[in-house]
Amino acid sequence: MKFPFKKGKEVIFEKVRSQQGFTLENQEGRLTDFEDVDIEEYLQDMFVTADQFVILTAPEPRRKVRYVQACTHDGAIEVELGIEEEGTRLYYKMCTEQECCRIFLDFYDGMLEPKMEEYKPVEF
């Protein structure tokens, strides 16, 4: 099976390769050595600046979640989860700044237990 491939309107991506530790990315670059405060700073920048994004990737999936990413659309915040199974599927929900921060920090701390009924598959 070649990735990405479509299954209905949903797209399934290739799994992310294993890595040493977490990575934190935005349009400015990528960090491999960071703390909670850096995640919060990246998110705060995204909240106030148009066309920004933040991606936090774990070394291995945590409760099937490989990465969390967020961006803003017309003042609204979209958080997406990369769920790994046979490939990686994206699920999203719209949320507040506070909820977005909580999702990222819980994921980083290994405490994120997403309520998947709150998320919808990302369609392309």
Q: Whole-prediction pTM value?
A: 0.88
Give residue-wise pLDDT tens across range 87-122: 889 999 999 999 999 999 999 999 999 999 999 998
For residue 58, being part of any structural domain is answered with yes
For residue 92, being part of any structural domain is answered with yes
For residue 25, being part of any structural domain is answered with yes
- What pairs with residue 94 in β-bridges? 78
Give residue-wise pLDDT tens across range 17-74: 777 899 999 999 999 999 999 999 999 999 998 788 999 999 999 999 999 999 998 8
For residue 122, being part of any structural domain is answered with no
Domain count, the chain: 1
Q: State the CB neighbour count (10 A cutoff) for residue 37.
A: 8
* Calpha distance 76→74 (Å, rounded): 6
Q: What's the domain range around 48?
A: 8-112
For residue 71, being part of any structural domain is answered with yes
Distance of CA 43 to the CA centre of its chain: 12
> 29's torsion region: left (phi>0), alpha (psi -120 to 50) or beta?
left
Cα angle 1, 18, 4 (rounded to 5 degrees) comes to 25
